[in-house]
Copies of this chain bind each other. A is one copy, B any other.
Amino acid sequence: MIPNEALPALGQGRTERVMVAIRRLIASHALAPGDKLPSIRMLAREKTVSPSTVVEAYDRLAAEGLIRPRPGSGFYVAASIVPARGADAHAPADRAVDPFWVSRQSLDAGREMLRPGCGWLPPDWMPLAAIRRAMRAAAKTDDATLVEYGSTRGSLALRRLLARHFASEGIEAGAEHVLLTSSGTQAIDLICRHLLRPGDTVLVDDPCYFNFRALLQAHAVRIVGVPYAPLGPDMSAFEEALATHRPRLYLTNSALHNPTGASLSPRNAHRILAAATAHDLTIIEDEIFADFEPERSVRLAALDALNRVIRIGSFSKTLSASIRCGYIAARPDLTEALVDLQLATGFGGPSPLAAELVFRTLSDGSYYRHLGSLRGRLTRRRREVVAELAKLDVHPWTLPRGGFYLWCRLPGAPDASEVARRALRDGIVLAPGNVFSVNEAARDFMRFNVAQMNVDVTRLLQRTLG
């Protein structure tokens, strides 16, 4: 028997009201674990709802694990209930400020936190309408796309679209050069698993994206950092590193380099490739910020025609980081080997549904316009933030042509990690320089995301640096 006072006030749906009533009875121990629930007919009569309403309520409570059906016998309160817990513990605030620090703090930050240290745009900068449109359309897509694993290389439609974009840069790649992955990072990881063995040496820029360091550490390789200059790596250091360390791989962003926002010059691109050829070096060129470029800069993948250069990218920065989908474009013999590795370690690539959503959003005419206005908005925002920071005597190391990063040296040579640690206590996630630096050469640098800055951040900086 379920007393009538357990039925909550009107205003909810009938099903929800029955569910709430049962939940209360369980929470108050009026119904104990193992107890049988009232029969559907009896409860329907008592509550003056239809039996199908009670069936729906019981099914949903069973789906939640609160009650369990016993075939032919009815529903029972589940044997053991674990109380719902509070929100997750975040990464401890006193954790070392290492390459994981920024990502964990940024990803697990509560909604109330400010995140000028994070690597993505706020939601209202993203093409939300086009994504919602793509989702409504995809809700009507064919059955197989909704529920099957999909092909080993991922959506042919999306790979062809990518191949056409590459062709417009002069890269003669077909869909068979392209392998979809579940993220840009996973694309790099897959290539590293194929190419690297523990103890190999890998070159990165110093500074470089902090997660390159975390990823390479997971591969137990030796990481050598080459100082990065505003037009690409310091070329004499690069050439010397090749001769001295014989690295197997170089991992870089040619366009809108993370964290500096710099882009490679054509001259340096040519020199890098010449040196790579001389030393049989493979290069992963990460296109992650490419769509933010106002005009396309030089690409190693185009000069090299995807021979020793592997292009990887994703749609996380300009489309959605939630619809996880990345890609690899490489020589067909390499993608063929990576298909096996991706099968073995993930059983297939990205969700066919995710690829469908990306394809639909990219093919939506509005997406191109979104990119155009996004670039304009970022240009204005960079200018504003540069001016704001200048008042604090904080200046960018270089003025990026696009994107949302500013790589700045802090005045008075403070330890940026300490600044970041203190800022966290004030609810602000910052990205201190040395997490990006293999040689720990960026102690007093900070990477700022202009789209995530506001007056509270500038005030905090003023207090801290002043």
Whether the pair B321, A350 counts as a contact (CB closer than 8 A) is no
A64, A120, A319, A345 — which one has the most chain B CB atoms within 10 A of its CB? A345
A138 and B140 in contact, given A81-B167, A344-B217 (Cβ under 8 angstroms): no
* CB-defined contacts of A339 to chain B, threshold 8 Å: 104
Interface segment, A1-9, A182-190, A391-399, A422-430?
A: A182-190
- Check: A146 CB closer than 8 A to any chain B CB: yes
* CB-defined contacts of A174 to chain B, threshold 8 Å: 82, 85
- Check: A173 CB closer than 8 A to any chain B CB: yes
A57–B82 CA distance with the chains assembled, in angstroms: 55
Give chain B nearest CB distance to A80 CB in angstroms: 5
* CB-defined contacts of A466 to chain B, threshold 8 Å: none
* CB-defined contacts of A346 to chain B, threshold 8 Å: 182-183, 185-186, 189
- Check: A128 CB closer than 8 A to any chain B CB: yes
Whether the pair A80, B172 counts as a contact (CB closer than 8 A) is yes
A124–B173 CA distance with the chains assembled, in angstroms: 36
Copies of this chain in its oligomeric complex: 2
The residue from B147, B150, B175, B353 contacting A126, defined by CB atoms under 8 A apart: B147
The residue from B64, B78, B124, B151 contacting A161, defined by CB atoms under 8 A apart: B64
Whether the pair B80, A170 counts as a contact (CB closer than 8 A) is yes
* CB-defined contacts of A369 to chain B, threshold 8 Å: 59
Whether the pair A167, B80 counts as a contact (CB closer than 8 A) is yes
- Check: A221 CB closer than 8 A to any chain B CB: no
- Check: A113 CB closer than 8 A to any chain B CB: no
Convert A53-65 into 0s and 1s, putting 1 for each residue whose CB lies closer than 8 angstroms to a CB of B.
Answer: 0011101101111
Q: Which of A159-195 contact B (CB under 8 A)?
A: 160-161, 163-170, 172-176, 182-186, 189, 193
Interface segment, A38-46, A129-137, A253-261, A266-274?
A: A129-137
Whether the pair B62, A368 counts as a contact (CB closer than 8 A) is yes
Whether the pair B139, A344 counts as a contact (CB closer than 8 A) is no
- Check: A108 CB closer than 8 A to any chain B CB: yes
Please tell me the number of chain A residues within 8 Å of chain B, measured between CB atoms: 115
- Check: A89 CB closer than 8 A to any chain B CB: yes
Give chain B nearest CB distance to A144 CB in angstroms: 5
Whether the pair A65, B186 counts as a contact (CB closer than 8 A) is no
Interface segment, A238-246, A359-367, A380-388?
A: A359-367
Chain A interface main SS type: helix
Q: Which of A309-359 contact B (CB under 8 A)?
A: 316, 319-324, 339-341, 343-348, 350-354, 357
Give chain B nearest CB distance to A401 CB in angstroms: 13
Whether the pair B59, A368 counts as a contact (CB closer than 8 A) is yes
A305–B464 CA distance with the chains assembled, in angstroms: 48
- Check: A94 CB closer than 8 A to any chain B CB: no
Whether the pair A123, B146 counts as a contact (CB closer than 8 A) is yes
Q: What residue of chain B has the Cβ atom nearest to residue A294's Cβ?
A: B71
* CB-defined contacts of A132 to chain B, threshold 8 Å: 139-140, 146
- Check: A421 CB closer than 8 A to any chain B CB: no
Give chain B nearest CB distance to A70 CB in angstroms: 9
Whether the pair A182, B324 counts as a contact (CB closer than 8 A) is yes
A152 and B189 in contact, given A128-B146, A320-B146, A324-B182 (Cβ under 8 angstroms): no
A63, A143, A173 — which one has the most chain B CB atoms within 10 A of its CB? A63
Cβ-closest 4 pairs across A and B = A65-B164, A123-B143, A59-B365, A78-B168
- With A62-B368, A132-B146, A150-B321 given, can you name 17 additional A-B contacts, CB distance below 8 Å? A59-B365, A63-B362, A71-B294, A79-B169, A85-B174, A88-B153, A88-B175, A107-B150, A108-B152, A123-B144, A128-B147, A145-B322, A186-B346, A214-B340, A214-B343, A320-B353, A321-B348
Q: List 17 A-B contacts (CB under 8 A).
A: A60-B368, A65-B161, A65-B168, A78-B167, A87-B156, A100-B343, A104-B340, A108-B152, A111-B144, A120-B149, A131-B147, A132-B139, A132-B146, A136-B136, A215-B345, A322-B352, A351-B351
